[in-house]
Amino acid sequence: MAAGVLQRVRGGLAPAKSGALSAGQLAGWVRGFATTSSRDREDSWFKSLFVRKVDPRKDAHSNLLTKNEESNLYKIQFHNVKPECLDAYNKLCEGVLPSIHADKYYPCELVGTWNTWYGEQDQAVHLWRYRGGYPALTEVMNKLRQNKEFTEYRMERGKMLLSRKNQLLLEFSFWNEPVPRDGPNIYELRSYQLRPGTMIEWGNYWARAIKYRQGNREAVGGFFSQIGDLYMVHHLWAYKDLQSREDTRNAVWQQEGWHEVVYYTVPLIQRMDSRIMIPTKASPLQ
């Protein structure tokens, strides 16, 4: 047997010898290799005792993070409007959306409707709540298909849009439920794309952190996605103006414990963005 035949074993090198290996040399090398392999296996088993084990999940994170006594489902819509059509689009929405909100025939509520001021321009954002979850959503969709006014609204709206997308959301149990408020206010929608598998961890930190952000009634609602972009979190805040936003956000850093929340949640985020939004006339959140 040539020496080169056993040069590379288990990613390592056999003893480099010139010429052929004798039977005694080969037997000795194999015994040494077996001893090393046994030691490696024992060492690997010993180290495995200290590896952090992940507990098996007993339930979906959507059930662990939501208000179990309620079954609210939210839909957020992002409509990118042709710049020259934004005023006409707002007027069209003002003539249709409030009537759906007020009609008890539809088990849904318009939480808020805005135009983006800073962030993605010429964009409309609508937030709906369906009391009763997915069955309520299905009921509303089926009824709206029979609504001639809504069908005409959608056709006219389509002429004004460049693109649109939506997400179905659930609300975090530790956040306020969004309720109508008087204005004038500006609203900030902060959206976080989390790393897959980190939603529970995010919820645990923010369940403690939300107390730092309720002093000025700025916390409006907190949601996480179920359909659409997954592992997406939306936090909705209200401020009197941009300076009030700056002062409020700076003040929270003076509270003990806030910096720890930031330190531990930032690594969970893949991407984040912020929209400053102005409510339209039709919005219950003013």
**Topology of domain 73-279, CATH:** Alpha-Beta Plaits (3.30.70)
Residue type, 113: T
The pLDDT assigned to 214 comes to 82
How far, in whole angstroms, is CA 222 from its chain's centroid? 10
What one-letter code names the amino acid at 28?
G
Question: For 204-232, what is the mean pLDDT?
Answer: 92
Q: Say which residues have a Cβ less than 8 Å from residue 189's Cβ, sequence separation at least 6.
A: 125, 234, 235, 236, 274, 275, 277
Look at residue 47 in the predicted model and tell me its pLDDT. Answer: 41
Q: How confident is the model at residue 9 (pLDDT cuts 50, 70, 90)?
A: very low
* Residue 285: C-alpha distances to residues 83, 112, 255 (Å): 24, 5, 28
Contact 190, 262 (CB under 8 A): no
DSSP H helical segments within 124-257, as ranges?
134-145, 148-158, 199-209, 242-252
Structural domain spans, the chain: 73-279
Pairing outcome for strands 269-279 and 186-194:
antiparallel
Whether the bond between 15 and the residue before it is cis, its omega within 30 degrees of 0, is: no
Q: Does the pLDDT at position 162 exceed 50?
A: yes
pLDDT tens per residue across span 98-127: 999 999 999 999 999 999 999 999 999 999
